[in-house]
Structure 1
Amino acid sequence: MRKLNLNFFYKNLIIVFMVTCLPMAIIAASNYFIGVKQIEAEVKRNHRLQLDEIYQSMEKQLSQLEIIGNQWVFNPVFNQELLEGDLRQKPNTTRELFVSLRILKESNPLIGNAVLYLNKEQLLVSDEEGIYTITDEAVKRTFQDLQRGKSSLMWWNEPISPLKYKNNVNAALVHKVLGAGEEPLGTIILYLDKSQIDDFLYPLNPDGEGVAYILRQDGDWITKGRNQGAKAVDLDEAVRSEVIDRKLEVGDFIFNRKGISYSVTVGALSRNEWKYVVATPLSKLTSPVILVSKLGLVFSLIGLAVAVILSWLASRRIYRPVKHLVGLFKDTVGIPSTSDKSDEFQFIAGRWRKLIDESHQLETKLEQNRQSLKEGFLLQLVQGHLYFFTEMELKEKMTFHGWKASDKIFAILLVRMDRFAHNKGKFNEGDEQLATFAAANITQEVLQSSRQDAEVINFHDLSLAVIFAFPAERPREQVKSDLFHFSSELIQMLTQYTTMRITVGVGKLVDDPRDIHKSLEETRAALQFRDLDKNEEILDMDDLLPRQTIQVNYPFNLENAIIQSMKMGLRDEAVRELGHFAEQIKHNHSREMQFQQGMLQLLGSIIHELLRSGVYSSVMQSGNLYEQLSGIKDQDEMLGWLRFTIIEPYIEELSETRETILEQIVSKVTEAIQVDFHTSISLESYADQHGVTSYNLSKAFKQYTGTNFIDYLTITRLEKAKELLSGTDLKINTIAEKVGYQPTYFIRIFKKVEGITPGRYRETMRT
């Protein structure tokens, strides 16, 4: 094995030799053959590109500075109210003004100071020096002339300010602040920071051997850059004089001084007519090329010796992937223990297995949540709470939950268990939920063996339902036969296991999934026809409730729509459906007595449904409702009575009660989060616990807490985690589990929210 490693090193020695020596020799020879002149031209071109990049950068920064100023002049804090009364007597306004000026100053690194000039009171406002009144007449005239300028945005190359704040560059950007009338109420003056401008120029003259500065249009200084030694000052003046003699023309020229040739570039900034001047010694541009050409061959020889050393060091590259993996696992999983550090491969294997376990746990939790959502959807479906969805929308939801609902017909089986066998069976009184749970599992196993497209719904009261979906093209007789065969097999299995009386009701087939709950209600009501002497029985709704050949003229669908609209608090929808109901009754029954009978039937149905909701208390105290409605003869008066006596009072009381209940539920949920934050909790679980939909709870939670459920839970968990990090010596993985997170996800979410890793946070707090 040792010899094999040495052979690998020798092979790498040859490779490193070739990589190190040959390219260097080729480059050195190429430099000689190509020629220094050509390389000089290329270096100059690159130097010009560097100048263009810095020019574009300065143009971009100046443009951003103008945009920032234009945006801030429309800030509501700079309003006409600043001119009303003594600004010094308005602490809140002054404080807000100082804060705005400070924010404006910090919004762009080029801004050295932001000052507001108010024309009416001759005031200068600065967050550094407060409010200053201009007393000097010459300064007043200067600021007034600036105020009367034609442009609302201008560059001011000779700023005058009586403030103690010393501006280190004679340049500023001026924005007029418009008032209520045509005259501006003042100006915002953005003084430029010399050090920031010098930062742009520094890369052009980092060693101070040349010059890099900015001039005004008249040749006066804007900034001289950082290098201010005696030699640099002389060179600055000499180059500036030459540039002024050339009338500040933009371009390149060669400038000779004291035996040194300088390549001088003069450029112009488009926004403020500044001229930037850069002078670089030609020897500085060409000397690296000559040096590289001469030393290329020398380095190629040195590379031979270095290659021998590198060949031995190349073995370390073998371990780079291993080291990289260890680093990744440390960052994502946590700090390894001492035993982990001893063997990196064992450490990686252990962490990999841990990640796989965490992945399986997350998949299990995800499947559990998905199943909970599916069960909630099915309960809402069979209870008729999804009535307002269209057929297409409801089928899309069923498809989302794993059903292929297109081109299907639906059937429902209702299974009822009762009469414990004198305590001789497997279940006794009080075991209703356990017995129903066992029956639901048995039913699920029978479905899997029969390969039926169906779902089981557990009502936890010794009854359960099974919803089937059959292809629409299958004959109904075949569907009924399959249902009876399944029912017989199910009864046999349940009777054998539970020793209880089993009754199965086979509901009518429906094409629209919105009618599934109607079929279930009919089946539940029809179970009262079961034979008390039979322990096993199948009831077919098509036999008990045959299809009617006589058309029923009562609009049951509109009645259901009115009731559903009221229960959901939809006032306008309920009133509109009431009008449609009256039109349908009037169309089917033209006589007054028949119309009144239809309205009384509607009243009875409404009272029956709304009494079940427990909210219909105030309206019931208004006397005999049937007698009141019977005493009304006019059709329009009947509609008005139903609307203002029944519908609207109920919806108002429902709205008030619902808001109070939701607020109480949100309060209970926030309290529960403080206790259960370390467990696997979800919005859906709390919604089921308090009997509301997850949508309504989410909306109410956002309304009363100002944040959504996930963010609130995350903040709570991270606050608890920070307490443990700063107050205990627990491991990060242990803290993650105590606050309800997997270690990998905990580190990622902590860094996303807090900006640092948990380990770094602990070090910072302890420091």
Structure 2
Amino acid sequence: MSQVWKRRERKGIFYRKSLILFLITASLPGLIVGASVYGFAVGQMEEHLGKLHQRQIMQRTRNIDDQLQYLELGLAHWAFDHQFGPGLRQLDFVYYFQQTWDIGKTLVVLQGSHPLIKDAELYVERESDQPVLFRPGYYELNDEAAISSYKSRLADPRTVYWDVRNGQLMLVHKVPGDSTAPFGALLLTVKREKLLNLMRTLTPYHEGFTMLLDSEGHVLLSDSPETETNERLRDAVAAREDKTGTFVFEDDGVAYSVSYGTMQRVQTEWTFVSAAPLTEIVSPVVVTSRILINVSMLGLLAALGLSWFASNRIYSPVARLIKLFSPEKAGDEEALRLNEFQYLERRWTHITRESRQLQERLNRQLPYLRTGFLQQLLQGHLYGYSEEELRERLQRYGWHVEGHRFCMLHIQLTGYGSVSDRFSGDESLVSFTAANIMEELARERFGQFGVIPFYNLSIGLLVAMPDEPDNGGRLHALAEELTLAVNRILRMQLTVTIGKPAAMVKDVPALFAEMVRASGFRIFGDQNQLIDLVSGERQPGGEKAKYPFALEQEIVQSLRMGRYQEAGRAVRAFLEEMLSHRGTEYDVKQGMLQLLAGIRHMILEAGLESEAMTEGEDWFEQLLRMREPGKMVRWIETHVIASYARAAEARAKAQQKRMVERTIEYMHAHYMRDISLEACADLAGTTPYTLSKLFKQTTGVNFIDYLTDIRIGKAKALLRESDKKITDIAEEVGYQPGYFNRIFKKHVGVPPGKFREMA
């Protein structure tokens, strides 16, 4: 619907002018700020980056110069070492092998003294013998080309100098260092890649190049192959008058920022040249400028959107009301024929009608919500709420609680066993029916009340009444009328407990729990009873029930002897004895719990598993929940006595089976002896009659036949597998020879001799 009204909206000149003013007001400051930032900040950033680039180059140049100076000073130090003195020329390196070994170690130390040193060599010319080369081991030079190369270095008038041959940069120092007629030289070869890596730090970008030139402009080192650009750059540097500086060099349309300077080396001067494309140097500035432009554009778009939003908010308050009252579904064509206020009037009428319907539905559900709340209150589930919160919730459910006291009744239905056939064994149906009767009767007397069925044949009633003297009488009248109605309609009896009134809602759970406990002191029988905790009134009871110890012993003894029907009759007599004194429910339940504890003790003494018999149920808890004597007796017979009978029978069968198995094992082990039923019964600890009966039930044959089968089987095996005499076999299986022939022929069909021939 909001889309329909947006199509119908017509904006006037004021809307357009206000929108343009909003756009200019929101966009102009952003454009000014963006241009200022780009003009000033970016320019200063470019200048700062250029200076920072130059400082980095000078710092890295000093680092390279320090590394090379370290090599020069270190080599000069070793050139004046006594190992390289005048005596070295006449030394017999083979004979004086220890000194030769020391020189080699010294060169190894010199080679490892700096990461730039690739090789450390010592060249020595001798007067009569071939020149010697340590590298770092001892060698006699025989290669004329190599000797010529070293002699040319030794012939150079400089004592220490840098030399480049075959692409290798070498530092040469003649020895002895203090001699005017040196006869040898220490030579350090520089690692080209290491030095190139140091040089590349002068151009820390992906593109660009670095060169190291000697005093005559020749390339000592370069990190890029020789090109026309490199050659033109060297010419441009040579044409500069200053020894150190920067300038912009353009070649093939690419602008380079060139930095150059000199390094003072021993008896010479080197020039370094670093060229980096300007695009690499100012790339951070370019990225920053693009970010500023993008941020400015986003700010502009945001300003446009906010301006449009603000103008609509100011211009069309009615549109917001239409959107608020519009249903979620679109396409209300009738609204197209109405103006905004007619549409709002019609929608308001519709919403008011829906609100009235929802209120009616809520009112219908309110009693169920109130009943659930009162049930939680009586059971103590709302202890975390304050008095004000509880009163507020009662008022929300329609109760007026100011100046009222809260009175309670607890009703316990008894005699269910006599009417269980009418209600199909459904206790909840009985509780529901009684609750409806109580609700009808309470509605005639009280304005604010709640009936709470607990579906265990008990019902609670909470009444909010003004603090008046006749409140107790009104509750008593309700109890009497309710008792008569339940007796007439349900044919059951009631125990009504009237609790103490509560001035505060928070006291209701505790007083209700006290009332439930007091109902347990009713006379345990199917009769109408009234217990009033306010006045102390209750039905007169008899003397305290005496515990029938003799009947408990009879029940336990009957169970031990397996006379379960007698035990059931004794349980009924036990309960009748407890009820004969008109004892309270509390006393009778305590007696029944004591009886159950005695039975459990007997079960444990018998060695039966009580957990398997109870199947995880708590017998004591189940017995406590029962409110009728007949139900208690039936439960003990069906659950306790029957479970014990099944467990005892199962254990007896297992013991009998083990007795027969031990007898069979004995027969297999002693079949060759004179075995009798009486002897086996003595061993099993029972009578011959009992053992014979159990043997027949377990194996299916009697004792004598089973023993005969064992002996005949053993005789067959001996006849087949041995050459023993028949008389010996007869004695070995426990028979006299003559009787053995008759019994064997009777069971097998042929005499033993014939059986051996056939086998």
**TM-score normalised over the length of structure 2:** 0.31
Larger Rg: 2
